[in-house]
């Protein structure tokens, strides 16, 4: 690793809450914890289902299955959480409160919220680093994890360390994140810290760690994406939209239909068709039928360990995604 990131005293924590998207950076963060000797039984992966368990509008259908396979491989717990109805319900919200958060717990499914002020969305989140207008990240991920922590009494017992995989190299916004700080859910009675263990890692270091683990990269990388965001992320580049239109025409049309319904485009200046017209599908998109079939399949079917391991086509490529 390059310059040392302040490492918290890992022995001080009872549990390690890894916000786990299934992307290479959260995977590298998990691998780093394991390499530092954190026992798998103390680690819990938390995955946020952006589509809220409903039909896929935004996310890759295979991502939840992929994340489950990784948790099973390493022997960690996995807790899935979501906002009821996901992205689609929040987008369609009309004079209603934001939907409640649902979260898996060791003993069942908890719920929180759903009784906030009435409000109306109707518009896609704006492609901005400002989370007040880019509503998908807080509503469907950040606030969901916070609700899961705040509403489980077990987090009052012993200290918790939230671990996330943001890297400074990804954007100027992420470069300003602190490698270590108190987590937003921490209070006088609930001790929660937040560590970004790969904050100063290069992409090269991340892929090297994934290669050492042998874990198969998410199909998105194999098909040419450089980052794992939602499949139809609002920050999609022209090449990403061209690839979605080529490989996943139904998913592409679903977003087009939402644009038509709202009368507003996903991007400030262009609709998704215009974006796709400006791009070219990734060169690798049609070369990997196994990854393509898996990408559309909610059931994870490929071996989670890849032998021999191969660097995916998307590595060091298109880096469009949330800043
Ligand atoms: S990946 Fe993109 S679309 Fe999905 S929640 Fe994040 S910013 Fe929004």
pLDDT in tens, 54-69: 888 999 999 999 999 9
Q: Lowest-confidence range among 81-95, 120-134, 160-174?
A: 120-134
pLDDT score recorded for residue 273: 96
Question: For residue 93, is pLDDT > 80?
Answer: yes
Share of the chain above pLDDT 70, in %: 98
CA distance 12 to 29: 18
Q: For ligand 1, is residue 240 a contact (CB within 6 Å)?
A: no
Describe the chain by its helix, strand, coil percentages, rounded to 5: 35, 15, 50
pLDDT mean over 197-217: 98
Q: 4 falls in which pLDDT band (50, 70, 90)?
A: very low
DSSP for residue 55: S
Phi-psi bin for 194: left (phi > 0), alpha (psi -120 to 50), beta? beta
Question: For residue 154, is pLDDT > 50?
Answer: yes
Angle at 82 (CA atoms; ends 177, 259), nearest 5 degrees: 85
pLDDT mean over 75-100: 95
pLDDT score recorded for residue 137: 93
Q: Provide the CA 161 distance to its chain's centre, in angstroms.
A: 18
Q: For ligand 1, is residue 152 a contact (CB within 6 Å)?
A: no
Question: For residue 222, is pLDDT > 70?
Answer: yes
Q: For ligand 1, is residue 102 a contact (CB within 6 Å)?
A: no
C-alpha of residue 229 to centroid of ligand 1, in Å: 6
pLDDT score recorded for residue 319: 79
DSSP collapsed to 3 states, 263-295: CCCCCCCCCHHHHHHHCCCCCCCCCCHHHHHHH
pLDDT mean over 236-263: 94
Q: For ligand 1, is residue 58 a contact (CB within 6 Å)?
A: yes
pLDDT score recorded for residue 2: 39
Q: 122 falls in which pLDDT band (50, 70, 90)?
A: confident
Question: For residue 307, is pLDDT > 70?
Answer: yes
Question: For residue 85, is pLDDT > 90?
Answer: yes
Q: Which domains does the chain have, with CATH numbers?
A: 13-204 (3.40.50.620), 219-295 (no CATH)
pLDDT score recorded for residue 276: 97
Question: Which one is predicted more confidently, 132 or 107?
Answer: 107
Q: Which atom of ligand 1 is nearest to the CA of 322?
A: 7
Share of the chain above pLDDT 90, in %: 85
pLDDT score recorded for residue 318: 81
Mean pLDDT of the chain: 94
pLDDT mean over 291-306: 98
312's tokens? 């995916």
Question: For residue 268, is pLDDT > 60?
Answer: yes
Angle at 46 (CA atoms; ends 40, 47), nearest 5 degrees: 130
Q: For ligand 1, is residue 322 a contact (CB within 6 Å)?
A: yes
Strands 101-105 and 108-112: antiparallel
Which of 139, 165, 226, 234 best tests ligand 1's pocket when mutated (most atoms within 8 Å of CB)? 234
pLDDT score recorded for residue 130: 87
Question: For residue 191, is pLDDT > 60?
Answer: yes
């Amino acid at each position: 690793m390059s310059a040392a990131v302040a490492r918290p005293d890992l022995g001080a924590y009872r549990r390690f809450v890894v916000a786990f998207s299934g992307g290479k950076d959260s995977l590298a963060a998990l691998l780093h914890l394991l390499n530092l000797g954190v026992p798998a039984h103390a680690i819990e992966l938390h995955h946020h289902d952006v589509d809220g368990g409903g039909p896929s509008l935004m996310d890759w259908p295979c991502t939840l299955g992929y994340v489950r396979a990784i948790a099973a491989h390493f022997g960690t717990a996995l807790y899935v959480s979501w906002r009821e109805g996901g992205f689609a319900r929040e987008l369609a919200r009309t004079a209603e409160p934001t939907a409640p958060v649902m979260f898996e717990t060791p003993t069942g499914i908890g719920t929180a919220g759903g009784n906030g002020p009435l409000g109306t969305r109707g518009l896609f989140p704006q492609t901005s680093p400002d989370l007040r207008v880019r509503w998908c990240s807080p509503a469907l991920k950040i606030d969901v994890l916070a609700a899961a922590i705040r509403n489980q009494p077990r987090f009052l017992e012993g200290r918790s360390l939230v671990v996330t995989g943001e890297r400074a190299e990804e954007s100027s916004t992420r470069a300003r994140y602190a490698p270590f700080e108190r987590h937003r859910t921490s209070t006088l009675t609930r001790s929660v810290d937040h560590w970004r263990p790969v904050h100063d890692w290069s992409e090269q270091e991340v892929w090297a760690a994934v290669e050492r683990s042998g874990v198969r990269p998410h199909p998105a990388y194999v098909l040419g994406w450089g980052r794992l965001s939602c499949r139809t992320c609002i920050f999609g580049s022209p090449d990403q939209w061209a690839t979605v239109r080529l490989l996943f025409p139904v998913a592409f049309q679903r977003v087009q239909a939402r644009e038509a319904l709202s009368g507003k485009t996903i991007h400030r200046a262009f609709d998704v068709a215009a974006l796709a017209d400006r791009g070219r599908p990734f060169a690798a998109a049609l070369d990997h039928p196994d990854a393509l079939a898996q990408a559309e399949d909610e059931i994870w079917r490929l071996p989670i360990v890849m032998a021999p391991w191969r660097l995916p086509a998307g590595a060091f490529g298109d880096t469009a995604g949330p800043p």
